[in-house]
Structure 1
Amino acid sequence: MKKTDIKSPLLLFLAAFIWGVAFVAQSKAKDYSVEPFTFNAVRNVIGGLTLLPCIFFLGKREPKEKKIEDNPKTLLIGGILCGTVLCIASNLQQIGINYTTVGKAGFITAMYIVLVPILGIFLKRRAGIKVWISVFLAVAGLYLLCMTEKLSLGKGDALVLLCALVFAIHILVIDHFSPKVDGVKLSCIQFLVCGVLSAIPMFLFEKPELGAICSAWLPILYAGIFSSGVGYTLQVIGQKNMDPTVASLILSLESVISVLAGWVLLKQQLSGRELLGCVVMFAAIILAQLPDKN
């Protein structure tokens, strides 16, 4: 068994932190009447373009012996698959949020932490008992954190549940390709693919207005540069040496961060139930990170 690498969990936690704060940006974008496909098309194209200079300068500075020799075919296939799956997941989430509450959407989306190990069974990647305990602890923590109303399955909830399934697939696809290719290049391709694919229904079903997009420049730039460009790149790099189930647990902390961000940035009060949910979530992550006994 591989030794625990502190760098990978920290990169994934930073990604979760960025995504958690992005919930504030996404909620603000709706105030400017930016529709779901438009929002995702613009943010992902910005995310991809942001990484182009990073690829150039990192390629210049990185020693030749440390560079990953990319197979162009593997890189392109991986980028297209990751981008397609990300496009489906992010648009299902963005549309679903319009038909349900933020709390229910956050709880149901985070169900990928259960779906990842279940899907992993079919891929012959079984999780240990400690990880399964962590998963169920995390679900309990998320329920306390996100759910304040009765859990029923409406139209928006069903869309978000499908989004959780597709996000679980996204984690497993990244787990397959991230050790084989350069993570920044893979991220760049996935964002550009996601942005182009989102632009198709944007022009077919929505009426994108340049004025609305420009008015929402701050949330769109945050979502594009930080949430997409930086956050998903950290996920790709951080997952290289991580079990996908443990990675999904750390990434699910975005729900905790989103609540804390709402408390700090939007002055939203935290109840005792929400604080208990945060504590249980963090306990689940710590348990998953504890080294196994020899």
Structure 2
Amino acid sequence: MLRINNLVLTVTDPDTGQQTEILHGNSFELAQGEALGLVGESGSGKSMTLKCVLGIEPPGARVTGAIELDGTDMLTASGEALRKIRANDLALIAQNPHGALNPVLPVERFLIEGMSDARSKDKKTARVLAADLLRQVGIDDTERVLRSYPHQLSGGLLQRVVIAGAISGDPKLLLADEPTTALDVTTQAEVVAILDEKRREHGLSMVFVTHDLDLAAAVCDRLAVMKDGEIVEIGTPEEIRDHPETEYTRNLMAARPMLYPKGHPAAFLSENKEAQA
């Protein structure tokens, strides 16, 4: 479904002309319906990998290797082909939901215009579908939320709106860039559960970027651990937890805080550890 081979990203300092390699020949594959977690500390190259997939890397950057989505090479596709792929096959869920919506437009404009463009729905039909999507992500007061502006909604509600918008176009691949970073742990649990449920319901593939190893393990089939722009190991959550291959992964696991309350999606790792003790 998604195949990345020997991905290298090089950026150039506009003042000095100095070139710096940010991503160092990374490769991985993602099957249809599979979720892969990109985990690592800040600056390890997780979000930059997503930007390369979307084709929104920094100005002047050079990307080499291959990024194929359903057989289409994203690095050589024409501008028109890329626009169609971004509109129909890809959806981004950003870590800051307030930055994903226009602050001077109500929520209904965000959802309705997206469906009108991606699914060619008339506005009346799109509004009905928008209300249904909001109910699917756990929002009952749909009319109030549709009429609301972003600043009138909490971070948790707004992230649900963004998830509804992401699945509204029936994409093949979800790119989730730390979608729960700005949320408290209780709201995290709700949003992650909804995101995982909708992904499985719609048969979507997902790349889930986070610095939180436990959270990624709760929603992903495999984890790719990144350090300094390089994937240092890939495995199932159980393989990473029980048999980490690198010292970096062991340190990353040792540094993670055990702050999840009982019932949180990521709490099972701590519970398993306690059971094994």
Q: Could you say whether these structures have the same fold, taking a TM-score greater than 0.5 normalized by the shorter chain as the test?
A: no
What TM-score, normalized to structure 2? 0.28
- Identify, as 1 or 2, the structure richer in helix: 1
State TM-score, norm by structure 1.
Answer: 0.26
Identify, as 1 or 2, the structure richer in strand: 2
